[in-house]
Amino acid sequence: MTLEATSANAIESTIESANENVEVTETADRSEALTTSAPAGVAAQSARLQQAVAVLNRLSGAVRSQVLGRDDVIELAIIALIADGHVLLEDFPGSGKTTLAKALGEAIITPLQEQADDVAAAIVPFRRIQFTPDLLPSDVTGGSVFDTSTNSFHFRHGPLFAHVVLADEINRTSPKVQSAMLEAMGEKQVTVDNTTYRLDKLFFVIATQNPLDLVGTYPLPTPQLDRFLFKITMKHIERDAELDVLDTYKTRRDQSQQRAHGSLHQVTRSEVLMAREVIDQDVVIARAIKTALVDISRNLRSDERVLQGNSTRSMVLLMPALQVLAALRGRSFVSAEDIETLLPRVLGHRVELAPGVADLGKVLHDCMREPMEQLARTTLQ
């Protein structure tokens, strides 16, 4: 073999090897772009964004000290709180839903200087409402009470005037009460005797329904289901976590009592509102992310396996939740990883499958594939 032929073969071999390396590198970069690549011009987390995340971590730590083995549910609850949404839990009795809601409510305090009016003074950290078929709207919203000393009516605030409200077995009450909850959750206000009373900016509902015992229940209408940002199906906690619950129940009981009396460190209402505002302003959502969300929604609506797709409002509600998750992950931008984490939680109770189709996960995966691949290619450019 001549020297020229040998050189030519060596060059071809080098080119083929280089092309293989480029393909491997591009594949790795494309997969890595789903989680790490930032939009152009986006810097690392600012100091005030880091401060906002620190507030959320303190809030999460306060709840985790009371609720064991439910870290994923706690994270979703805090994301919904900061994203100004609500959570629907499908669970069984004794799963810790009351403890979760109470711990979250008691971890947020309102100093006296922030109670500027009577409405603010009436706000309490936590309220639990046990829904029953004979419940009336006034039992939830409050009502007018006649004062004999002044010969006039005054409004008595109901249990909805709280930071965190546990709506236990919400599907057991009548549609009339459910409609009152719909106004409170959607508009953050209640109307009694043609007078509107505003709720607190942090008004947050954790509603529950028992998926097993459905006798005598009133299924939630689609508009009210759409008001919940997440629908979470809870399962039994792991064995080790259950042992920790038994080992530490006295310590957690004492901590709960100390927190109720203000003995333990808590997060103020103004700090939580500040964190919500900072995350909304400082966490970037690139147009490619929005395009992917729209394309996924359109794919779902046109899929023959889907009877009813998700609404535009569901995507609007998802946007701030993506920002909160990105901030908790240490980023100042939303990535494809955030979409893959939260989208099934948001669409699980909004997408209605056609008869005979049971696997929503597969349908959602198929509808997400092409938009997510396009998002990865756009990120690499």
CATH number of 283-380: 1.10.8.80
Whether residue 23 has pLDDT greater than 50 = no
Mean pLDDT of the chain: 83
Angle 198-199-203 (CA atoms, 0-180°, nearest 5)? 155
* Cα atoms in the 13 Å half-sphere on the side-chain side of 127: 19
d(CA 342, CA 324): 11
d(CA 10, CA 146): 98
pLDDT tier for residue 121 given thresholds of 50, 70 and 90: low
pLDDT tier for residue 265 given thresholds of 50, 70 and 90: low
pLDDT tier for residue 186 given thresholds of 50, 70 and 90: confident
pLDDT of 277 reads: 96
Q: Are 276 and 84 in contact (CB under 8 A)?
A: yes
Q: Which residue has the higher pLDDT, 83 or 178?
A: 83
pLDDT of 27 reads: 40
Exposed/middle/buried for residue 43 (C-beta within 10 Å: 0-12, 13-18, 19+): exposed
Work out whether the CA dihedral 337, 285, 59, 186 comes out positive or negative: negative
Whether residue 227 has pLDDT greater than 90 = no
Q: Which residue has the higher pLDDT, 325 or 235?
A: 325
C-alpha closest to that of 349 among 87, 81, 79, 20: 87
pLDDT of 275 reads: 95
Whether residue 21 has pLDDT greater than 70 = no
Mean pLDDT value across residues 220-234: 84
pLDDT tens per residue, range 287-307: 999 999 999 999 999 999 999
pLDDT of 381 reads: 60
C-alpha closest to that of 316 among 346, 273, 351: 346
Mean pLDDT value across residues 124-145: 90
pLDDT of 118 reads: 52
DSSP-assigned letter for residue 333: B
Whether residue 14 has pLDDT greater than 50 = no
pLDDT tier for residue 211 given thresholds of 50, 70 and 90: confident
* Cα atoms in the 13 Å half-sphere on the side-chain side of 286: 21
* Separation in Å, CA 379 to CA 97, 108, 367: 40, 39, 20
pLDDT tens per residue, range 271-285: 999 999 999 999 999
d(CA 333, CA 338): 10
pLDDT of 258 reads: 65
Check whether domain 58-268 has CATH 3.40.50.300, yes or no: yes
pLDDT of 40 reads: 56
Bridge partners (DSSP) of residue 190 are 197
pLDDT tier for residue 2 given thresholds of 50, 70 and 90: very low
DSSP-assigned letter for residue 135: -
Whether residue 16 has pLDDT greater than 70 = no
pTM of the model: 0.83
Work out whether the CA dihedral 342, 346, 349, 350 comes out positive or negative: negative
pLDDT of 30 reads: 40
State the DSSP H helix or E strand holding residue 55, giving kind and residue range, or none if neither.
helix 47-64
pLDDT of 154 reads: 86
Break the chain into its structural domains and give their ranges: 58-268, 283-380
